[in-house]
């Protein structure tokens, strides 16, 4: 059997096992890198469905966390680890966009998960068509898995990025203010600027979701965190919406679309999103 077909089949089996698209790709890439982290992967359940509101596909959130963790392991220099996570996340997003023609869950599945009825419709439609294994998400996961692995490997193998100053990630800033470990802080680095500086849904928000759930998982070993309507997550989301007027897109919150890592670094160092970063850290602890 062709190696890509084997990966596709394994990805589908993994999806059935994990249940959440974000969990699935965190799991797949971690094992590709040879570093399974079951608790970390499980905590990514709350990123499924595009943060449960139809934004970037959960496959991307899980992949971005996996490449962030691997970048941490490959680079002794913190700045290069953060830069590696950010540039590799960009590579992974480009690969996904080529395959799915959109990075947003809502456009891919055709349902609005920000509306409870959208989630119900998705579940009913999936059940009507024979369950998860016949869903658009399931087939996309299988088709993209070999490409995701290739994009992640290529991105992480690129020459170190030459930067004008040590890089800063808004997502890493949230992690640090939450008291996260250096590894966890770098793991979320690629979420910066709406994930890979793409300007989409706030990466700092995604980091707060994951880190909050990770803390819960570590306190409750062997248990599975609730994903949809998780009280902790809805609380973070409410605080975020109050602070941003319910705007979730990075490029609209910041009023700009970051072109380079240095551009994003300068913005954060100058106090950009400082209040939002502090709010998210406080809400997520």
Is there a contact between 273 and 194 (Cβ–Cβ < 8 Å)?
Answer: no
**Lowest pLDDT segment from 54-63, 100-109, 110-119:** 110-119
Contact call for residues 136 and 59 (beta carbons, < 8 A): no
Over 90: is that where the pLDDT of 279 sits?
A: yes
Rounded CA separation 47/105 (Å): 11
**pLDDT per residue as tens digits for the range 11-43:** 999 999 998 999 999 999 999 999 999 999 999
Q: How many domains are there within the chain?
A: 1
Average pLDDT over all residues of the chain: 92
- Is residue 233 within 8 A of residue 213, CB to CB? The reply is yes
pLDDT of residue 128: 41
| pLDDT band at residue 154 using 50, 70 and 90 as cut-offs | very high
Domain of 162, in residue numbers: 3-284
Instruction: Please say if the pLDDT value at position 112 is more than 90.
Output: no
CA atoms of 55 and 110, how far apart (whole Å): 12
pTM: 0.93
Structure confidence at residue 129 (pLDDT): 43
Q: What is the share, in percent, of the chain residues with pLDDT greater than 90?
A: 82
Q: What is the pLDDT of residue 210?
A: 98
Looking at 48-62, 109-123, 268-282, which range is the least confident one? 109-123
pLDDT at 127: 42
pLDDT digits (tens, 9 = 90+) for 54-81: 999 999 999 999 999 999 999 999 999 9
Which pair of structure tokens corresponds to residue 68?
Answer: 């962030």
Are 189 and 85 a contacting pair, CB within 8 Å? yes
């Amino acid at each position: 059997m062709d190696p890509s077909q084997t990966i596709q089949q394994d990805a589908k089996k993994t999806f059935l096992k994990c249940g959440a698209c974000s969990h699935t790709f965190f799991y797949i890439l971690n094992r590709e890198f040879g570093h399974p982290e079951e608790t970390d992967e499980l905590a990514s359940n709350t990123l499924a469905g595009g943060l449960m509101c139809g934004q970037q596909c959960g496959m991307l959130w899980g992949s971005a966390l996996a490449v962030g963790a691997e970048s941490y392991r490959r680079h002794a220099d913190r700045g290069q680890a953060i830069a590696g996570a950010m540039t590799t996340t960009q590579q992974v997003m480009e690969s996904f966009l080529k395959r799915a023609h959109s990075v947003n869950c809502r456009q891919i599945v055709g349902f609005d998960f920000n509306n409870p009825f959208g989630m119900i419709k998705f579940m009913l439609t999936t059940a009507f068509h024979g369950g998860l294994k016949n869903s658009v998400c399931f087939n996309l996961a299988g088709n993209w898995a070999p490409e995701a692995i290739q994009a992640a490997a290529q991105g992480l193998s690129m020459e170190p990025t030459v930067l004008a100053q040590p890089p800063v990630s808004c997502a890493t800033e949230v992690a640090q203010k939450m008291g996260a470990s250096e590894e966890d802080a770098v793991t979320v680095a690629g979420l910066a600027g709406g994930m890979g500086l793409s300007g989409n849904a706030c990466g700092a928000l995604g980091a707060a979701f994951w880190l909050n759930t990770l803390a819960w998982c570590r306190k409750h070993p062997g248990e599975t965190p609730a994903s949809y309507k998780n009280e902790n997550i809805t609380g973070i989301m409410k605080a975020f919406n109050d602070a941003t007027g319910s705007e979730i897109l990075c490029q609209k919150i910041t009023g700009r679309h970051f072109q380079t890592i240095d551009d994003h670094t300068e913005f954060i160092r100058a106090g950009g999103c400082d209040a939002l970063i502090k709010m998210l850290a406080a809400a997520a602890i």
